[in-house]
């Protein structure tokens, strides 16, 4: 099926979980198609670095803004900009006006099919969904060929809150190439920080956004003894707040933010323990990567986190928003090397059995192919 033209409409294409998954899928689909990628957040295109340079990818600067009031004229301009493609792929709330435009004008403008992806919520909906947005999603998704979600929680919301029919909703758990995470990286594999003899690393991978609440992780880490270092991989607007919190707690020499890593498998093996501190998650890819690397995890009980982890790890899942509970889980795992090893080994077994990338890619191929009315994709 050479020559397919795909349009990706992202809330952001900064290097985070859903964006890097999209990049991996683009790489897996190969060079027989072209991809145009639009970000609702101007300039947030960092995940493009993870796409194979041999693939035909563009970032059109003249595409109408995905942000603004959903007036009929603006929706029409968005819909007109979708003409000429074979498949529209939209992502999260930031692209929902484009989804609405597709629903309103699909017939009149003979638009290609649209598949929408929902991966979770930002800070403004972390504590509860907005009624107005729920109504808007119900209407906007009316002509989507499929709605892809990664978690059981989002599947329930899609069915019960957004009133999406069962035939439209597809739950595809996030996956990674699990066997790639078995190798031990060099101590100097990361930019600007080297793992020195005797150090132990608590690590995380995340877009540095408010919903990840990484200053909370700095505070939960503070009680760990001196050999422990906190290494936060990722880029985003919260970098200054993270550093300020580390300096306030006099931990500046033990908290490191080396930036984005294009291939987490090249770095995550340096960690001795993994943690999340988010206000909201659904099916965090970074946690799957940690599990594949054989790491124990301390994380809040949000989204599918508890169900994703091996049973041996579940006692170290903290109550949502409970900073002290997270600190207690970290201390228990950090203080017991044998426990970390046994829990990490159980996580690796589960990741390889349930969250390998091959199954995820096959499910996306099937869903996109069905949207196009084809037996195979690409």
pLDDT digits (tens, 9 = 90+) for 17-65: 899 899 999 999 999 999 999 999 999 998 999 999 999 999 999 999 9
Residue 371's pLDDT is what?
97
Name the residue ranges covered by the structural domains of the chain.
4-175+357-371, 178-354
Residue 207's pLDDT is what?
86
Q: Are 89 and 8 in contact (CB under 8 A)?
A: yes
Radius of gyration from C-alpha coordinates of the chain: 21
Looking at per-residue confidence, does 264 or 73 come out higher? Answer: 73
Residue 231's pLDDT is what?
98
Residue 121's pLDDT is what?
85
Cα separation, 14 vs 20, whole angstroms: 9
pLDDT digits (tens, 9 = 90+) for 99-145: 999 999 999 999 999 999 999 888 788 778 999 999 999 999 999 99
Sheet harboring 228-233: ordered strands across?
255-259, 228-233, 200-205, 273-275, 297-300, 317-318
Q: Which CATH class is domain 178-354?
A: alpha beta
Tell me what the mean pLDDT of segment 143-155 comes to: 96
CATH architecture under which domain 4-175+357-371 falls: 3-Layer(aba) Sandwich (3.40)
Q: How many beta carbons lie within 10 A of that of residue 107, not counting itself? A: 9
Half-sphere exposure of 349 (CA within 13 A, CB side): 10
Tell me what the mean pLDDT of segment 326-355 comes to: 97
What residues have CB less than 8 Å from 265, skipping those under 6 apart? 176, 177, 180, 181, 183, 289, 293
Domains 4-175+357-371 and 178-354 share a fold: yes
Q: Are 192 and 343 in contact (CB under 8 A)?
A: no
Residue 1 has pLDDT above 80, yes or no: no
Cα separation, 19 vs 31, whole angstroms: 19
Cα separation, 268 vs 297, whole angstroms: 13
């Amino acid at each position: 099926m050479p020559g397919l033209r795909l349009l990706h409409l992202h809330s952001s294409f900064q290097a985070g979980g859903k964006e890097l998954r999209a990049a991996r899928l683009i790489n897996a689909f190969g060079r027989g198609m072209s991809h145009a990628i639009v970000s609702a957040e101007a300039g947030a295109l960092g995940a493009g670095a993870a796409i194979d340079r041999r693939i035909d990818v563009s970032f059109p600067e003249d595409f109408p803004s995905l942000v603004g009031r959903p007036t009929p004229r603006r929706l029409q301009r968005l819909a007109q900009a979708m003409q000429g493609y074979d498949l529209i792929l939209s992502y999260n709330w930031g692209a929902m006006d484009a989804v609405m435009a597709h629903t309103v004008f699909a017939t009149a403008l003979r638009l290609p099919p649209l598949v929408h992806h929902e991966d979770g919520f930002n800070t403004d909906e972390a504590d509860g969904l907005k009624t107005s947005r729920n109504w808007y999603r119900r209407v906007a998704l009316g002509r989507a060929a499929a709605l892809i979600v990664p978690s059981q929680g989002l599947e329930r919301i899609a069915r019960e809150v957004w009133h999406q029919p069962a035939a439209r909703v597809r739950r595809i758990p996030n996956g990674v190439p699990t066997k790639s995470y078995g190798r031990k990286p060099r101590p100097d594999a990361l930019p600007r920080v080297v793992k020195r003899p005797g150090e132990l690393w608590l690590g995380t991978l995340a877009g540095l956004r408010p919903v990840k609440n990484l200053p909370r992780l700095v505070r939960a880490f503070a009680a760990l003894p001196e050999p422990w270092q906190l290494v936060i991989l990722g880029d985003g607007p919260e970098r200054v707040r993270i550093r300020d919190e580390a300096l306030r707690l006099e931990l500046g020499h033990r908290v490191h933010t080396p930036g984005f890593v294009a291939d987490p498998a090249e770095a995550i093996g340096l960690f001795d323990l993994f943690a999340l501190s988010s206000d909201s998650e659904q099916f965090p890819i970074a946690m799957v990567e940690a599990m594949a690397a054989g790491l124990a995890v301390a994380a809040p009980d949000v989204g599918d986190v508890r169900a994703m982890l091996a049973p041996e790890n579940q006692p170290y899942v903290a109550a949502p928003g409970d900073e002290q509970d997270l600190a207690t889980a970290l201390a228990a795992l950090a203080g017991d090397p044998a426990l970390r090893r046994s829990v990490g080994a159980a996580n690796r077994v589960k990741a390889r059995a349930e969250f390998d990338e091959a199954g995820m890619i096959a499910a996306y191929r099937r869903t996109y192919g069905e949207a196009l009315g084809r037996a195979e994709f690409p």
